[in-house]
Chains A and B, each alone.
Chain A
Amino acid sequence: MTSDTSASLSISVTELTKTYGKVFALNRVSIDVKAGEFLTLLGPSGSGKTTLLMAIAGFNRPDSGRICFGHEDVTVLPPHKRGVGMVFQNYALFPHMSVFENVAFPLKLRKIPADEKHQRVTEALQTVQLSDFAERGIDQLSGGQRQRVALARAFVFGPKILLMDEPLSALDKKLREEMQIELKQLHRQLGVTTVYVTHDQREALTMSDRIAIIDHGELAQIGTPREIYNAPANHFVASFIGESSFFPLTKNKSGTLHYAGVSVGKVPNRAMHENWTLVIRPERLSLHATKTSKNTDKIYFSGKITELVYQGETVIVMMIMEDGHNLTARMNTRAGNDVDSLRVRQNLLVGIDKQDVIIIPGEAS
């Protein structure tokens, strides 16, 4: 197994378009995946993320656009000549073969000599911690084990690109979280360019070098998990990644933006838009009975508690602001945080640091 990044290839998708009837599954999507990168395609179901992955694998033919692996144009190359590894959502293991035979299948097709084949399958099974299961049948494995077989089969032949279509969605939560870390470690070990499809935003944040958010067949935003969480490009991204409250902003002549009479910041440079929205992440808030006037970096809004939800590590405080907009705050339950003293219908001030303020173009809906 090689961890040399030159053993991986970049992927370049240019203006890819695919329609089903009159619906755009992909609308002029361009994405560049760097060699060795772990990129996640994130989006709700029906957003086109799987269509894009299947186009990269060669299983559906786009209407227009170009796909390159490295410098090679593979747009019209049939799937069996692309040499990419893929983990399918339902694993797609071969039920008439043992674990060993499944993993050996791509090597058999490549006419690898028996000794080397045996060694490489054994190594791959070791990597996914299934050494003792080589002779088992597929239906004797648990969901997590099948997942590992599918993974071993996808990388055993040393592909330079690895594709995964929601590979963890069939697993229960605890196993899924373990596998996320394992996949991340495996990616680091193999150094192979990986494109990963999921609809689970937390999974995307956990695993990715970069996330590409797909919405209605279009690329909504691409960036590192931190960029996407801290600076969502639009309303869709802000609401899809993490929880958010949205407030409409008014702009005065000097270009300052206000909510409820409080100045929250200036119009950003991309100032073509007329309407602006304030995005507030629930964990960035603090609750106060009165204004602590000393801190000028903090801004305050007043509201009333409508509901309190205890969730163990945090308490969700749902509030209604004076103008009727809803706000959600998430407070840690550590001692001295005073969350136990909160009561429904209590009037409060919510404070937020100016640097935690997110402003996006468009109207709050």
Chain B
Amino acid sequence: MTSSPAPHREDALNATKLRVAERRQSLMVLALTLPAIIAVCLVIVIPVGWLFSLSFLDSSGDLSLVNYEKMIAYKSYLRVFKTTFNVSFLTTFLCIVIGYPLAYFLSQIPRKYVGLFMLTVLLPFWTSLLVRTYAWLVMLQRNGLINNFAIDLGIWEVPVKLAHNLNGTLIGMVHIMLPFLVLPLYAAMRRIDRHALQAAANLGATPVQAFWQIFVPLSLPGVVAGSLIVFVLCLGFYVTPAVLGGGKVILVSMQITAILEDQFNWGAASALGVVLLVSTFAVLLLASRFLKLDSVMFGRR
């Protein structure tokens, strides 16, 4: 180039006109998104803020930390949080154990059959949560299908406690959460280059070696994404543990309901909600650290 360009000079040909056009365009974009921003503020930000502020008021309406102090003072609160994390962790773990082979199977069959098998995952997913939970209750209870069959067949003699405890809660929750793990995991597995596995075989890897050294590491981002969704959903889950836990598995969400129904204490309930929200954020933060580790592994940027 012989003439040096002067991109920021006012007197350059049409520079002002073009800059005005550019600014007008960005204003238009802002104007178009404004209704959505306002809606989000009205529906999410303000109610959550209100909830947040409620938790810092005592029963007479004065500013205090009494709700949080109570949470530290009473051991039962700690136990509820422990149970919640415990159940969420176990559910996520079981979802991975069951969902990984399922997603792997789906990713290996020809695409035209995927829809059919995906239905087995999605059909329950589209059925009402409450219906499914009570269906499990019918199956799992003392005189339920499973116990009756097992006793008739002589597998066990005395009815096994499958519902109204942690077992029931986990069975129900894993069933409901499974699609949230399988769908992102399946998508991640489909993205894995089949040639990478062929290359591994070509370089001397047995199918088992190729699976563990190539396929599994490449599917990890899908596992992380899916488990995160499941874990976070579990933290605030209510219906299934309430029905199938039979009052023996108390999660944060159930504690909140109890406080509101028995004591009508909005402050204490809000405080629980805030702590749950904060701990969810903490988990997400930790996970994003882990995800970044992944992107370091894959991206090395």
Residues in A neighbouring B80, C-beta threshold 8 A: none
Asked whether B209 lies within 8 Å of A109 as measured between CB atoms, the reply is: yes
Q: Which residue of chain A lies nearest to B195 when distances are taken between CB atoms in the complex?
A: A92
Beta-carbon contacts under 8 Å, B260-301 to A: 297-301
Asked whether A157 lies within 8 Å of B299 as measured between CB atoms, the reply is: no
How many angstroms between the C-alpha atoms of A85 and B199 in the bound complex? 9
Known: A88-B195, A92-B193. A106 touches B297 (CB 8 A): no
Beta-carbon contacts under 8 Å, A306-333 to B: none
How many angstroms between the C-alpha atoms of A86 and B203 in the bound complex? 8
The 8 Å CB contact of A88, one of B198, B209, B297, is: B198
Asked whether A80 lies within 8 Å of B300 as measured between CB atoms, the reply is: no
Indicate whether B2 reaches chain A with its CB closer than 8 angstroms: no
Bitwise interface map of B from 179 to 199 toward A, beta carbon under 8 Å scored 1, else 0: 000000000000001011011
Residues in A neighbouring B206, C-beta threshold 8 A: 80
* Most chain B CB within a 10 A radius of its CB, from A83, A84, A96, A157: A96
Least CB distance from A305 to B in Å reads: 41
How many angstroms between the C-alpha atoms of A80 and B201 in the bound complex? 5
How many angstroms between the C-alpha atoms of A89 and B195 in the bound complex? 9
Known: A88-B199, A90-B195. A96 touches B298 (CB 8 A): yes
The 8 Å CB contact of B202, one of A57, A110, A136, A140, is: A57
Q: Which residue of chain B lies nearest to A105 when distances are taken between CB atoms in the complex?
A: B203
Indicate whether B7 reaches chain A with its CB closer than 8 angstroms: no
Q: For the complex, would chain B's binding face be called helix, strand, loop or mixed by DSSP majority?
A: helix
Asked whether B202 lies within 8 Å of A79 as measured between CB atoms, the reply is: yes
Known: A92-B195, A94-B214. A137 touches B299 (CB 8 A): yes
Known: A80-B205, A106-B203. A92 touches B298 (CB 8 A): no
Indicate whether A63 reaches chain B with its CB closer than 8 angstroms: no
Indicate whether A139 reaches chain B with its CB closer than 8 angstroms: yes
Asked whether A106 lies within 8 Å of B195 as measured between CB atoms, the reply is: no
Indicate whether B115 reaches chain A with its CB closer than 8 angstroms: no
Residues in A neighbouring B199, C-beta threshold 8 A: 86, 88, 92-94, 153
How many angstroms between the C-alpha atoms of A84 and B202 in the bound complex? 7
Indicate whether B217 reaches chain A with its CB closer than 8 angstroms: yes
Indicate whether B49 reaches chain A with its CB closer than 8 angstroms: no
Indicate whether A95 reaches chain B with its CB closer than 8 angstroms: yes
Residues in B neighbouring A236, C-beta threshold 8 A: none
Bitwise interface map of B from 205 to 248 toward A, beta carbon under 8 Å scored 1, else 0: 11101100110011000000000000000000000000000000
Asked whether A139 lies within 8 Å of B298 as measured between CB atoms, the reply is: yes
How many angstroms between the C-alpha atoms of A137 and B299 in the bound complex? 7
Q: Which residue of chain A lies nearest to B210 when distances are taken between CB atoms in the complex?
A: A80
How many angstroms between the C-alpha atoms of A137 and B202 in the bound complex? 22
Least CB distance from A77 to B in Å reads: 12
How many angstroms between the C-alpha atoms of A140 and B299 in the bound complex? 8
Bitwise interface map of A from 150 to 182 toward B, beta carbon under 8 Å scored 1, else 0: 000100010000000000000000000000000
Asked whether A157 lies within 8 Å of B204 as measured between CB atoms, the reply is: yes
Bitwise interface map of A from 83 to 121 toward B, beta carbon under 8 Å scored 1, else 0: 111101110111110100000011001100000000000
How many angstroms between the C-alpha atoms of A79 and B206 in the bound complex? 9
Q: Which residue of chain A lies nearest to B213 when distances are taken between CB atoms in the complex?
A: A105
Q: For the complex, would chain A's binding face be called helix, strand, loop or mixed by DSSP majority?
A: loop
Indicate whether B48 reaches chain A with its CB closer than 8 angstroms: no
Indicate whether B122 reaches chain A with its CB closer than 8 angstroms: no
Known: A110-B204, A137-B298, A153-B203. A79 touches B198 (CB 8 A): yes
Indicate whether B94 reaches chain A with its CB closer than 8 angstroms: no
Indicate whether B90 reaches chain A with its CB closer than 8 angstroms: no
Known: A88-B195, A88-B198. A80 touches B298 (CB 8 A): no
* Most chain A CB within a 10 A radius of its CB, from B196, B199, B203, B209: B203
Beta-carbon contacts under 8 Å, A52-86 to B: 57-59, 78-80, 82-86
Indicate whether B102 reaches chain A with its CB closer than 8 angstroms: no
Asked whether B300 lies within 8 Å of A106 as measured between CB atoms, the reply is: no
Asked whether A92 lies within 8 Å of B196 as measured between CB atoms, the reply is: yes
Q: Which residue of chain B lies nearest to A83 when distances are taken between CB atoms in the complex?
A: B204
Indicate whether B200 reaches chain A with its CB closer than 8 angstroms: yes
Asked whether A85 lies within 8 Å of B196 as measured between CB atoms, the reply is: no
Asked whether B300 lies within 8 Å of A96 as measured between CB atoms, the reply is: no
Residues in B neighbouring A79, C-beta threshold 8 A: 198, 201-202
Known: A83-B204, A109-B209. A94 touches B196 (CB 8 A): yes
Residues in B neighbouring A95, C-beta threshold 8 A: 196, 218, 298
Bitwise interface map of A from 279 to 313 toward B, beta carbon under 8 Å scored 1, else 0: 00000000000000000000000000000000000
Q: Which residue of chain B lies nearest to A137 when distances are taken between CB atoms in the complex?
A: B300
Residues in A neighbouring B207, C-beta threshold 8 A: 80
Residues in B neighbouring A136, C-beta threshold 8 A: 300
Q: Which residue of chain A lies nearest to B216 when distances are taken between CB atoms in the complex?
A: A96
Asked whether B205 lies within 8 Å of A109 as measured between CB atoms, the reply is: yes
Known: A96-B217, A137-B299. A85 touches B202 (CB 8 A): yes
Q: Which residue of chain B lies nearest to A96 when distances are taken between CB atoms in the complex?
A: B217
Known: A80-B201, A95-B218, A106-B204. A90 touches B193 (CB 8 A): yes
Residues in A neighbouring B300, C-beta threshold 8 A: 98, 136-137, 139-140
Least CB distance from B242 to A in Å reads: 42
Residues in B neighbouring A89, C-beta threshold 8 A: 195
How many angstroms between the C-alpha atoms of A137 and B300 in the bound complex? 6
What 5 pairs between A and B have smallest CB-CB spacing?
A137-B300, A92-B195, A106-B203, A92-B199, A79-B201
Interface, chain B (partner A; CB < 8 A): 193, 195-196, 198-207, 209-210, 213-214, 217-218, 297-301
Q: A92-B193, A95-B196 are in contact. List 15 more A-B contacts (CB 8 A).
A: A58-B202, A59-B201, A78-B201, A80-B205, A82-B202, A90-B195, A92-B196, A94-B199, A96-B298, A98-B300, A105-B213, A137-B298, A137-B299, A139-B298, A157-B204
